[in-house]
Amino acid sequence: MGILKVDIPNHSFEEISYTVNCLLGKFLGIEFEVSNKDISNTVVRSEKGSLTINNHFFKGDKGAFEYDKSYLPCAVIDNVIEFAGKRLPLVSLYGNSKIGQQEADIILDSDIIASTFFMLTRWEEYVNPERDVHNRFPAKASIAYKHGFLDRPIVNEYVELLWTLLEKIGCTQNRKSRAYKIVPTHDVDRPFLFTSLFQNIRLFGGYIKRGNFHGLVDFCKHAIKGIDPWDTHDLFMDLSEKANVKSYFFFLPKGKNKHDGRYDVAEPKIKKLYRRIKERGHHIGFHPSYDTYNDIELFRKEKIELEEAIGEKVKCGRQHYLRFSIPRTWQIWDECGIEWDSTMSYADSSGFRCGVCYPFPVFDIEQRKQLNLWERPLIVMEGSLVGYEKLSLEEAKKKVDNLKSEVKKHNGEFVFLYHNSSFFEGGYRKLGQQLLYHLYK
């Protein structure tokens, strides 16, 4: 087994070595050695040949870490190339899709290193100030949405292209073995509908005030039967166990904003729910409140509250409302010692915000270093399909099938989010359990 040699330009060594490590090490799982050299392009060498990946972004004259809106991709090329008997899709954000070959040496003019770095680090969101009412970067402002590839994991496509080229230059290593799997996650914004007599009266009055008589009838039916329509936690665990996977429940400490939860993570009824989840071998994670995405002190305070309530350290979670600031939110998660985050999906459109369906280590573009934190990209949220995209049940199923097909193609992780209250709340009711079952299908 020959270890690959990788020569990297020294003027952007941190950025390029991180990306090479993701592509070769984390995603393909092959061994390589890196050298820092005074060269213009990245060169991968085997014992029999070489692959040169032309550099169209990480240039020493501007500095790889001086991000500016003018450096965003401006001429995206979406093409299918034929090479080594394969038809390979290729979205070129920098460079073009030309491949040159001379005996055992190959030159790729599509800068898949810069394109991968662009997608994984989300530096696009760092330089583009466009935000929605919740101060989130919207899907519709992204290069991926504008150029029609948000529903494709283009970084995974780069991995397949890279593997084909490595085999062609004589790489004899075996790539990492992977298997498709679903990862069910549930943000527990409000674990129960019926919490107290006062709250029940308040909800009853709210339905009347809004003129929502259909909702009022449903509310009364459930109250009379003594069935809490938001207590769907056991159903989630039942479905996960049938699929031979485990669910992740992310609990929301009581924040200060009107958008936050209204329960105490330490109250007895919630602690009883923790025990139900733990006894069945599922996982409890952190769902920090609305204002924590750029406030480390509030984040740390809420993390401690939840850890004291569940009696163990939290290792994973997701930001409430998918609020995120690049790279500050990742810095906060890393500094607070959490292993992985799963916020990276757009609220207004499901798809591949980071262009990948594999977990990956996070890179901090301000400190120019890889963090200990990993990102586990969220692919589908039921709230996106219904609340923002306004899809019917059949349209939602079709979109789920398309996204799931892309993940299966690359043996990746299909991470989805379904809230425990979605069988009862507003427009989500029409999806009922059918969409949930379809996600597990």
292 and 185: one domain?
A: yes
Average pLDDT, stretch 141-153? 98
Binned at pLDDT 50, 70 and 90, residue 199 comes out as low
**129 upstream amide cis, omega within 30 of 0:** no
Query: What does the pLDDT read at residue 173?
Result: 96
Mean pLDDT of the chain: 91
Q: How big is the chain by its Cα radius of gyration, in Å?
A: 23
Cα separation of the two ends of the chain: 40
Residue 118 lies in a domain: yes
Are 136 and 157 contained in the same domain?
yes
Residue at 210 is within a domain: no
Is 372 a residue whose pLDDT tops 60?
yes
Q: Are residues 143 and 185 in the same domain?
A: no
Same domain flag for 132 and 189:
no
Model confidence, pTM:
0.94
In a domain, 219, yes or no: no
pLDDT tops 80 at residue 1: no
Predicted confidence at residue 66, as pLDDT, reads: 74
Token look-up 């163990």 returns 312
Residue 231: strand, helix, or coil: coil
Is 371 inside any structural domain? yes
Residue found by looking up tokens 């929502």 in the block: 212
Which band of pLDDT confidence, cut at 50, 70 and 90, is reported for residue 90? very high
138 and 81 inside one domain:
yes
Helix, strand, coil % in the chain, rounded to nearest 5: 40, 20, 40
Q: Indicate if 160 and 255 belong to the same structural domain.
A: no
Phi, psi values for residue 325, rounded to 5°: -130, 120
CA-closest candidate to residue 291, choices 327, 331, 317, 321:
321
Same domain? 141 vs 260: no
Full residue range of the structural domain in which residue 32 is found: 4-168
Q: Looking at residues 165-194, what average pLDDT do you find?
A: 94
**For the chain, percent of residues with pLDDT exceeding 70:** 89
**Considering its fold, how many domains does the chain have in total?**
2
Domain shared by 145 and 188, yes or no: no
pLDDT at 428 over 80: no
Looking at the fold, whether 254 and 383 belong to one and the same domain comes out as: yes
Any domain includes 221:
no
Compute the average pLDDT of residues 78-102.
Answer: 93
Do 319 and 120 form a contact (C-beta atoms < 8 A)?
no
Q: What CATH number is associated with residue 433?
A: 3.20.20.370
- Has residue 338 been placed in a domain? yes
| 267: in domain | yes
Residue 204 has pLDDT above 70, yes or no: no
d(CA 204, CA 153): 45
Question: What does the pLDDT read at residue 216?
Answer: 59
- My answer on whether 117 and 242 are in the same domain is no
* 133 & 189 share domain: no
Is residue 214 situated within a structural domain? no
Residue with tokens 């996977």: 245
Same domain, 130 and 268: no
Residue where the block lists tokens 């924590």 = 292
